[in-house]
Amino acid sequence: MRRKNKILLVSYLCAALLAFGGMAVKDYTDILNYERFINNAYQRSFNELVTSVNDIDTALSKVKYATTSPMINSLCTQIFGRSMAAQMSLGELPFSNYELTETAAFITRVGNYAYALSVITAGGDMPLENDMQNLQSLSLTAAALSSRLTELEAEVGHGTMTVGELKNAQRQTDKAGEKASLGENFKLIESEFPEVPTLIYDGPFSAHLENQKPKLIENADEVDSETARRKAIEFMGVSPDKAAVVGHRGGRIPAYLIGVSTEKGDLTVVVTKQGGVVLSVFDGAPVNESKITPEEAVGIAKRFLTERGFPNMKSSYWIVENNVALINFAYVQDGVICYPDLIKVSIALDKGTLVGFEANGYVTNHCDRDLPEAVIGAGEAKRFVSPSLSILSHELAVIPTDGRFEVLCHEFKCLSPEGRHYLIYVNAKTGQEEQMLILIEDPGGTLTI
């Protein structure tokens, strides 16, 4: 090879190496910038969590000395708002490796308890003495949690740890030696979490709900694992060799876990130990295309429920996500829709197959109800609907309160002047507005807010 050609070849190789080196440096810089961005987001969420918990602590410290309903109402409203903010911040942190059940449950519970008291005090009534005692106990818990979180925030601020370390629970090592990660400190908070008072009130996180026995199976006998396996086989319509018991779980509704193989793939069927009722079906396989409409999926789901022994179910609303239609069904008794008896069915829009089933609401609440007579008729109940709304339809419905107590209502589907659909629920006994929902409708389905 001539000397000139050799020089050119070496030059080209050097240029190529420099180009690749530059690309590698750029990629490494991009990774560092991305990690910095993620950690800053975690940092911001953590700071917001600490601020929100501190604000809850402050408001609880004030409310126990408040003597008028307007002041208690104002403080309880603040507590509820800061609880919502804390929940959002907690949800944005990387807790995939942690079960922060105590921290999350306390933040949610204190907010809902404050909301329930704000409803009482909004009408000028004072909380009961027991409510004030509960607030004092919650204040002690909030103070302890606030103090520990503030300490962690100080450590983060001094650079002794980063929020990004929440990604794993391993002890971190740096030039200064070993030190516990922030995740380890959160685990310490959980292990030392103060006792939370038992709260009995009409709210979604009251203690009576946590211990509520499922009405559908409360008097049923316990079944063995083989019976549960057969129940899963019948429910999914597969041959016996396609199902096997893979485990069990405890909790409020103990159940067997049955692995089932179908044409689409493997899924898990959860069967209650008491009564042998299918509680849920999970299929995590992706659905890559849609060949049937959501309306067709509703018909498939309806037929599926009828064939599986749920004949009196009425579909309410559905939503499509990732080529799967999730349809809500409620039980109908004597023409009255019983919304607490809820079953959710997911149908794949490629082949119309079942990919999800969840009957916690139905198993928990279903029973033969002694439905009360409507003291307020539909005609009279219409007077409690705003004259600005046009009534499109009427049904009688049993709806849950926040604490899952039940009330018979007139359900009016209405249209606003702006073209939005509203659901107005008027108490069939008192004539008071019990609930109001806005229907959010788009091509992907319908939701309520």
Same domain, 113 and 205: yes
Q: Is residue 370 part of a domain?
A: no
Range of the domain at 190: 8-210
Model confidence pLDDT, tens digit, residues 252-281: 899 999 999 887 778 899 999 999 999 999
Q: Is residue 371 part of a domain?
A: no
- Give the chain's domain count: 3
Return mean pLDDT, the chain: 81
Please tell me which residue, 288 or 175, carries the higher pLDDT value: 288
Ramachandran assignment for 242, one of left (phi > 0), alpha (psi -120 to 50 degrees), beta (any other): alpha
**Distance (Å, rounded) from C-alpha 72 to C-alpha 316?**
38
Long-range contacts of 26-35 (CB under 8 A, 24+ apart): 35/164
Please tell me which residue, 111 or 446, carries the higher pLDDT value: 111
Same domain, 279 and 320: yes
Q: Is residue 403 part of a domain?
A: yes
Give the pLDDT score at 33: 55
Give me the amino acid identity at 272.
T
Please tell me which residue, 92 or 22, carries the higher pLDDT value: 92
Same domain, 33 and 128: yes
The average pLDDT across 122-151 equals 84
The average pLDDT across 102-117 equals 85
Give the pLDDT score at 177: 38
**The two three-digit tokens of residue 411, written as one number:** 């359900």
Please tell me which residue, 429 or 207, carries the higher pLDDT value: 429
Of 365, 392, 417, the position where a domain reaches its end is 365
Res. 184: pLDDT tops 60: no
Same domain, 205 and 229: no
Of 153, 182, 210, the position where a domain reaches its end is 210
Give the pLDDT score at 14: 61
Please tell me which residue, 376 or 176, carries the higher pLDDT value: 376
pTM over 0.85: no
Q: Is residue 168 part of a domain?
A: yes
The average pLDDT across 1-27 equals 57
Residue 117 parent element (H or E)? helix 101-122
Same domain, 361 and 393: no
Same domain, 423 and 340: no
Strand-pair category, 390-400 with 406-415: antiparallel
Of 342, 365, 388, the position where a domain reaches its end is 365
Residues 344, 445 contacting (CB under 8 angstroms): no
The alpha carbon dihedral of 375, 377, 383, 385 has a sign of positive
Provide Rg for the chain, Cα atoms.
28
Residue 320 parent element (H or E)? strand 313-321
DSSP letter for 385, please: S
Model confidence pLDDT, tens digit, residues 49-88: 888 888 998 888 888 778 788 888 888 999 999 988 888 8
Distance of CA 300 to the CA centre of its chain: 26
Looking at the chain, the whole-number percentage of residues with pLDDT higher than 70 is 74
Same domain, 80 and 153: yes
DSSP letter for 167, please: G
Give the pLDDT score at 354: 92
Same domain, 270 and 326: yes
Q: Is residue 14 part of a domain?
A: yes
Give me the amino acid identity at 342.
L
Residues 116, 140 contacting (CB under 8 angstroms): no
Give me the amino acid identity at 319.
I
**The two three-digit tokens of residue 49, written as one number:** 């969590």
**Distance (Å, rounded) from C-alpha 73 to C-alpha 119?**
8
Q: Is residue 359 part of a domain?
A: yes
**The two three-digit tokens of residue 385, written as one number:** 């609907």
Please tell me which residue, 39 or 215, carries the higher pLDDT value: 215
Q: Is residue 387 part of a domain?
A: yes
Same domain, 359 and 440: no
**Distance (Å, rounded) from C-alpha 152 to C-alpha 146?**
10
E-strand stretches of 367-432: 390-400, 406-415, 421-427
Q: Is residue 219 part of a domain?
A: no
Closest CA to 126 of 114, 134, 118: 118
Exposed e or buried b for every residue in 28-63, given b needs 16+ CB within 10 A? eeeeeeeeeeebeebbebbebbbbbbbbbbbbbbeb
**pLDDT class for 135, splitting at 50, 70, 90?**
confident
**pLDDT class for 93, splitting at 50, 70, 90?**
confident
Same domain, 277 and 178: no
Strand-pair category, 421-427 with 406-415: antiparallel
| Beta partners for residue 255, in sequence order | 249, 272
Give the pLDDT score at 175: 36
Indicate which CATH number applies to the domain containing 394. 3.10.450
Task: Identify the top-confidence range among 2-11, 50-59, 339-348.
Answer: 339-348
Give the pLDDT score at 129: 83
Looking at the chain, the whole-number percentage of residues with pLDDT higher than 90 is 36
Three-state DSSP class for residue 192: coil
**The two three-digit tokens of residue 69, written as one number:** 């309903």
Ranking 6-15, 126-135, 224-233, 426-435 by mean pLDDT, the lowest is 6-15
**Distance (Å, rounded) from C-alpha 120 to C-alpha 80?**
14
**Distance (Å, rounded) from C-alpha 340 to C-alpha 209?**
13
Please tell me which residue, 440 or 24, carries the higher pLDDT value: 440
Same domain, 14 and 63: yes
Same domain, 137 and 80: yes
Give the pLDDT score at 166: 45
